[in-house]
Amino acid sequence: MGGSEQKYVSEAFQTNWIAPLGPNVDGFENDINDYLGGNCYTAALSSGTGAIHLALKLLGVSKGDEVLCQSFTFSASANPIIYLGASPVFIDSEKHTWNISPELMEIAIKDRIEKYKKPKAIIAVHLYGMPYMSNEINQIARKYDIPVVEDSAEALGSKYHSMKCGTLGDLGVLSFNGNKIITTSGGGALISKSRELKEKAVFLATQARDSAAHYEHSHIGYNYRLSNVLAGIGRGQMEVLDERVMARRNNYKFYKANLSKFDSIEFLEEPDGFYSNRWITCIKTKSFETREQIRLALLDDDIESRPLWKPMHMQPVFKDVLHFTNGVSEDLFNKGLCLPSGSNLKQEELNRIIDVIVKTPNL
């Protein structure tokens, strides 16, 4: 926590706004709008997963539809497609940002259109905070008139040619889960380009109650609004977001300065115009064996590290799902490692991590 979270939470208690609405919810939404550069409308929600679910719902995704989704991601990017009775089609990554490959995406779109299954939406992800190739993705999406849901759950504070991540797609998704760069313990947001869409999202997120004195419903609703207590934590966290981004970027800088001399360790560099919040510092090693050697040596010293996300097209739960692959995400899964990346890592802790890694034989 940054410091002023408790003040906002106390205000919620003192004024008895213990509900999924109130001054902190409005204040948090305004803070996010301002941070993202205005011109957008934020709906604070109970999770990023809920935000993706509502985004797809707002785009009219329903039973039998197909939705293109980046394969190299966390399962929460894809699960809401299934909630709606639609089918994901997984797309592999390119090597420059590790995110959805524009080339493969266009191949997939052409293939699906040929089979009378034009995709209803695209879910692209700024994985680990690195922006995806937004210009290329948007260009193709516009060419075929398919809306883009921008999963920016890991990328609050990242930028693409000075535009903030969260504002690059037709609808943007943020997460404030406990593991993200800032947190409300649990929470999320849907970013839209019009007040109308935001109001529609809030309507669906609060049980879709029509205006009447009694409870009248002409739509199926959800209970996805963020609590005013948790939004208070969010307001405090927004005050320290830029500090957190600096801390995470410094972690990356330190790891890179100390490890890039080894031929077997590769870092994910920022292409020109890309600015990553470096939510997690990831390395790609030369082989599965090297990755495991490093991971197990760290574990032996009580330091947790983790393989990169296992691609969705390799997950048992999605084993029968159509996918367009090129081997990039599978290779990253086999050889990649997430290093400890907390915003509160101390210099002596970072030194300890390096000391263990550099002792790995044959780096």
Give the residue numbers marked as catalytic. 180
One-letter amino acid for residue 40 of the chain? C
CA distances from 286 to 103, 315, 326, 332 (A): 26, 23, 18, 10
Rounded to a whole number of angstroms, the minimum distance from the CB of residue 142 to ligand PLP is 24
How far apart, in whole angstroms, are the C-alpha atoms of residue 81 and residue 68?
10
Q: Which is nearer to ligand PLP, 89 or 259 (CB)?
A: 89
Residue recorded with tokens 């404030």:
176
How many Cβ atoms sit within 10 Å of the Cβ of residue 153? 31
One-letter amino acid for residue 52 of the chain? I
Helices (H) and strands (E) in the chain, counts: 12, 15
Rounded to a whole number of angstroms, the minimum distance from the CB of residue 56 to ligand PLP is 13
Q: Which is nearer to ligand PLP, 226 or 259 (CB)?
A: 226
Show the tokens assigned to 67.
Answer: 């939705």
Q: Which is nearer to ligand PLP, 80 or 290 (CB)?
A: 80
Rounded to a whole number of angstroms, the minimum distance from the CB of residue 57 to ligand PLP is 15
Provide the binding-site residues for ligand PLP, judged by CB under 6 A. 47-49, 73-74, 76-77, 125, 151, 153-154, 175, 177, 188
SS3 per residue for 39-76: CCEEEEECCHHHHHHHHHHHCCCCCCCEEEEECCCCHH
Rounded to a whole number of angstroms, the minimum distance from the CB of residue 143 to ligand PLP is 26
Q: Which is nearer to ligand PLP, 154 or 330 (CB)?
A: 154
* Contact (Cβ atoms closer than 8 angstroms) between residue 315 and residue 263: no
Rounded to a whole number of angstroms, the minimum distance from the CB of residue 123 to ligand PLP is 9
One-letter amino acid for residue 175 of the chain? S
Measured from each CB, the residue nearest to ligand PLP is 48
Q: Which is nearer to ligand PLP, 109 or 130 (CB)?
A: 130
Strand partners, 33: none
Q: Which is nearer to ligand PLP, 49 or 305 (CB)?
A: 49
CA distances from 77 to 67, 68, 174, 268 (A): 11, 11, 11, 21
One-letter amino acid for residue 122 of the chain? I
End-to-end alpha carbon distance in the chain: 37
How far apart, in whole angstroms, are the C-alpha atoms of residue 320 and residue 322?
7
Rounded to a whole number of angstroms, the minimum distance from the CB of residue 316 to ligand PLP is 19
